[in-house]
Each structure stands twice: as structure tokens, then as C-alpha cells.
A and B are shown apart, each in its own frame.
Chain A
Amino acid sequence: MNAKILINTSYFVVALLFILGLKGMSSPVTARRGIIWSGVGMALATLVTFAWPGMGNYALMVSALTIGGGLSWWSGKVVRMTDMPQMVALYNGMGGGAAAAIAAIELAKGETHVPVVAALATLGGLIGTLSFSGSLVAFAKLQGIMRKAFRLPAQNAMNMILAALTILSGTGIVASSPATTLQILIFFALALALGAVITMPIGGADMPVVISLFNALTGLAVGFEGYVLNNPALIIAGIVVGSAGTLLTQLMARAMNRPLTNILFKPITGEAKTGGPGIAGRLKEVSSLDAASMLLYAQKVIIVPGYGMAVGQAQHKVKEMSELLEEAGVKVKFAIHPVAGRMPGHMNVLLAEAGVSYDRIFDLEEINEEFAQTDVALVIGANDVVNPAARTEKASPIYGMPILNADHAHNVIVIKRGKGAGYSGIENALFYADNTRMLYGSAQQVVSEVIKHIKELMA
């Protein structure tokens, strides 16, 4: 009895710590305090749960905790800053998997549940499983294990059929509580397949939104399983994350001007480019020496980083270059598109890691007017977020997405790994424009060369 009071009191404190922690994390000043408070909450919740009355299997519990927690702690410590997005996807998938596993146990116990409990357990299981397989696919894609956007024939019809089957089998479980093991197996297999099939065709610029969506879904699944387990800590933390994650997802989808339904069911593919008018002009290459002098003798340079900077691990070199240019009296600013990279804020995190000061970094709304008065826009491994087709070409799959107006600058230099279309497979008219020069190579190597030439020119 006393244990119960201790646990309930602790869970109350835990819920408070989580909410205050998230609140703290929404401002740069208190962000670090926020994660530490949440961390204390998590530690407290875990410790006090050992006192839960009537539990066994402690050896199993401790070993699962140690192995799972230890492996994950280690992987989080050693992963490079640039690979953070896929790690978030991975950990999120594991949370979804945990929620699904709880649902599986509750359903497999063979007890008769009240319909509400059976329904919430099943729904939480469905959402958690979706999030699990979907996040793993997202991880595989970002990690480069799964390269291309992969579309089934009649993708949307397949999605609908699979979703219908999954819901049908879920309804069957709720209706026939207790469900048979076979029913449960079929249900989870269908849900696994559904999550993977929905995520596979999604690529490129849409991935951040999808990871955020799965994050919100895992929260929701955790909340539902909390109801089933009668555990207020799970309900509150899960639902708070579910709604906060939904808001975050909406903010991102809005930034791209693509409704969530389009992201999920009309994935961006290169197909549309054949419908639109062909792109006039040709790609014009520039040497790193010419690029260096263009930058050095400019008055104002705006750097537009994208995923290529992350892949090339170029953020430190980019910072070094920006400092050199400033020493030479060039005004340097960074323009960050809300969905540049593979997660919103991805570029901010990388530039912060490299030590670029905040007052150099600007959002799309803040800086877009300035491109017209800029001598050189330096695009480093960004593509879709500077594609003018989003403004002009109705046939383009990214039509309507707000973009950085790099094409308005007097000159544009694009650092790019190779010729051809980028991640999303859409051709970019900016690269063919008269005032655009292409600088091919991996971002880090190219920027290093540019730095070398700038130094020579300054000497």
C-alpha cells in the first residue's frame, strides 16, 4: 500500500518534470535545463517502478534495461552530429516498438477486456507498430542502407487495401476479446507491413515531416497503452508528446506548403518534370579558384547550406571560410530553409556545432528579400529548397513550397556532389541559370580548396 502511494506521488512529480522539461526545451536559454529536468524525471520514474507491487522477472528486467539502455547510450554518444536525424528516427521507432509490445502482451494474456480497453490496446498497438516499421525505414533511408524512393505499382491502392485489412483485423481482435494468438499475429504483421509500405516511397525533403509525424504517433501509442496499464505517467507523457509532435509536424508541413496528406500519399517524384516545359540553358562549371575570387571580391555573400553540407561533414570548413571572408571585409550571412537537411533545424544544429554565431543565421522570411542585393549566393549541397520551379511551375511536384530566392542574387555558386537531379529526383532550373556556376565535388573537399585559394589571394 505504501509502495503504491510512493509510486503515485513520484509519477505526479515525473509528469510535472516532463512538462516543465518540454517547456524549457522550447527556448534556447532554458533548453539545456529542460532536457536535464526531463532526464531526472525519467530516472525517477524508472527507479520507483521497481517498487511496483506484485512484480517478478527482475533478472530479465534488469538485463533488458542494461543491454537496451547501454547499447543505445553508447550509440548516441559515438554517432556523428550529422547523423543525428536518423538516430532520432531509430530511437523513436524503438519507443513505438515498445508500445506495440506492451499491447501484444495485454492482448495475448487472453483475458476478456472491456471494449474500451481492448480498443485502446489495439489502437495503441497499431500506431506503435506503424511508427516502429515506418521509423526503421526512415532510418534505413537516411543512413543510406535503402537508397531510392521505392514505389509499388498502384501504391495508393495498395496502401488503402493494406490499411483496410489492418483495421479489419484490429476490429476483429476488439470484437472477439480474448483474441486468438493467430489473430494477434496477423494483426501485427499487417501493421508492420503497412508502416513500411507507407514510408518507402517518401523521400528527400519530406523525410523531416515524416519523422516528426512518427514521433507524435509513438507518443499517442504510449498514451493509449498507459490507459490500458492504468499508468498516469505514460498517459500524460504520451499524450503531451502526441499533441506537441502533431503541432511540430504541422509547422513543418506548413513551411513546405504541402498538406500532410500529400506528403503521405503523393510522394514527390521526378515524374512530373517530363510534363513541364524543358529547362533551358546548360550547366556551367567553375573552378574553385574562380569561386574563391568571386567570393573574396564580393561585398555580400549569403551561404545556403543543405543536406550536402551534412553529408560532406563540411560545417567546420564552411565556418572557417566564412571567417576568412569576414576578415577580408565581406558581409557573410547564412540562410536556412525551414526544411533544409533531413530535419527542421538540422542546419542550425550543424552550424552551432561548428561555432557559427546565431546572429549570422537567418530564417527564410528574414533574409529572402536580401538576395536581390547580394553579390554571391553560395549554395552548399542544397537543391529543392532553392528550386525556382516551386515559384513558377505549376506542374512541378514542389510547386507552392516557399523557397530561398537564391536565384535573385547577382551570382550563384552551387557546390554539388555530381551532375543530375538531387535526392528528390527533380531537375533544378537554378543550376542552368545564366548567373549560376557549378562547383562539383564533396562539400568538405571543395570548401577546403576554396579556403586555400582565398588564403593565397589574400596573401
Chain B
Amino acid sequence: MEGFAALYIFMLAAFTGYEVISRVPVILHTPLMSGSNFVHGVVLVGAMVALGQAQTPLEQAIGFIAVFLGAANAAGGYVVTERMLAMFRSKKGTK
């Protein structure tokens, strides 16, 4: 990717993040923090590529840690967010 194209992506993504959550009610602050925590779990993908291209044992070791941590971020983030939001669903039914 060209340097400048990436810069534009940076800028647009920053505005997108800001706009996407600008109208969030207080009751969703915790689930949303948890949900965004899940989304940056995509670091897992980067970790997989880094490990996949690792050559030396040291790189492999660090890559293994990276994938381990990234997978933990993604899996835990999903489960916790899902559990929080599941409570909102049951609420909707009775209201």
C-alpha cells in the first residue's frame, strides 16, 4: 500500500470511529468498550502473518506469544461482550 493511501485510510477510519459511537447511550458504554476491545482483537491476523513469516527460533517464539495473546483478546472479548448484550435481548422481550 502506498504511504499516502494509508494516511488517508488513517484519517477516514479515525472519523468513522468518532462518528459511529457519537450517539451511544450511557447504558451501552460498558458493552461498547468491551465490543471495541473485541474488534481490536483483529491484531490476531497480524500476529498470524508475523508468525507465519518468522525465521529464527526467537522470531517464532515471539510470534507464538503474539498469536496466543491476539487469540485471547479476540475470543475473550467476544464471549464477554456477547454475554453482556444477551441480557439486553431478554430485556427487550419483556418491555
Q: Do A and B bind each other?
A: yes
Chain A interface (Cβ < 8 Å from any Cβ of B): 14, 18-19, 21-23, 25-29, 31-32, 34-36, 38-39, 41-42, 45-46, 49-50, 52, 54-58, 60-61, 64-73, 75-77, 79, 81, 84-85, 87-88, 90-92, 94-95, 97-99, 101-102, 104-106, 108-109, 116, 211-212, 215, 218-219, 222-223, 225-227, 229-248, 251-252, 336, 338, 343-346, 348-349, 352-353, 355, 357-359, 361, 363
Contact A67-B68, Cβ < 8 Å, known A26-B23, A348-B26:
yes
Q: Which of A46, A79, A98 contacts B69 (CB 8 A)?
A: A98
- 8 A Cβ contacts from B44-95 to A: 44-54, 58-60, 62-92, 94-95
Contact A345-B31, Cβ < 8 Å, known A52-B48, A64-B51:
yes
Is the Cβ of B3 less than 8 Å from the Cβ of A116?
A: yes
Enumerate chain B residues within 8 angstroms of A252, measured Cβ to Cβ. Answer: 29
Is the Cβ of B84 less than 8 Å from the Cβ of A227?
A: no
Cα A84 to Cα B37 with chains together (Å): 13
- Nearest 3 pairs of A and B residues by beta carbon: A55-B52, A76-B79, A243-B17
11 A-B pairs within 8 Å (CB atoms) are namely A32-B89, A38-B38, A84-B80, A98-B66, A232-B1, A232-B9, A239-B14, A248-B24, A251-B29, A343-B30, A345-B30
Contact A244-B76, Cβ < 8 Å, known A25-B32, A98-B44, A108-B58:
no
Is the Cβ of B40 less than 8 Å from the Cβ of A349?
A: no
Q: Which of B32, B58, B64, B84 contacts A84 (CB 8 A)?
A: B84
Is the Cβ of A237 less than 8 Å from the Cβ of B30?
A: no
- Report whether over half of chain B's contact residues are helix, strand or loop; otherwise say mixed: helix
Enumerate chain B residues within 8 angstroms of A247, measured Cβ to Cβ. Answer: 17-18, 21-22
Known: A65-B67, A81-B84. 20 other contacts (CB 8 A): A29-B92, A34-B85, A57-B54, A60-B67, A65-B71, A68-B68, A72-B71, A72-B72, A72-B76, A73-B76, A73-B79, A76-B77, A91-B38, A98-B44, A105-B59, A108-B62, A247-B18, A248-B32, A338-B29, A355-B91
Is the Cβ of A94 less than 8 Å from the Cβ of B48?
A: no
Is the Cβ of B27 less than 8 Å from the Cβ of A348?
A: yes
Enumerate chain B residues within 8 angstroms of A108, measured Cβ to Cβ. Answer: 58-59, 62
Enumerate chain A residues within 8 angstroms of B63, measured Cβ to Cβ. Answer: 57, 60, 101, 105
Chain B interface (Cβ < 8 Å from any Cβ of A): 1, 3, 6, 9-10, 13-18, 20-54, 58-60, 62-92, 94-95
Shortest C-beta distance, A117 to chain B (Å), equals: 9
Is the Cβ of A101 less than 8 Å from the Cβ of B69?
A: yes
A356, closest chain B residue (CB): B91
Q: Which of A222, A352, A357 contacts B43 (CB 8 A)?
A: A222
Is the Cβ of B18 less than 8 Å from the Cβ of A101?
A: no
Enumerate chain B residues within 8 angstroms of A348, measured Cβ to Cβ. Answer: 26-27, 30
Most buried by A among B24, B45, B51, B77: B45
Cα A87 to Cα B53 with chains together (Å): 31
A45, closest chain B residue (CB): B45
Contact A68-B78, Cβ < 8 Å, known A241-B39, A344-B29:
no
Q: Which of B21, B71, B77, B90 contacts A68 (CB 8 A)?
A: B71
Shortest C-beta distance, B25 to chain A (Å), equals: 7
Shortest C-beta distance, A202 to chain B (Å), equals: 17
Is the Cβ of B75 less than 8 Å from the Cβ of A73?
A: yes
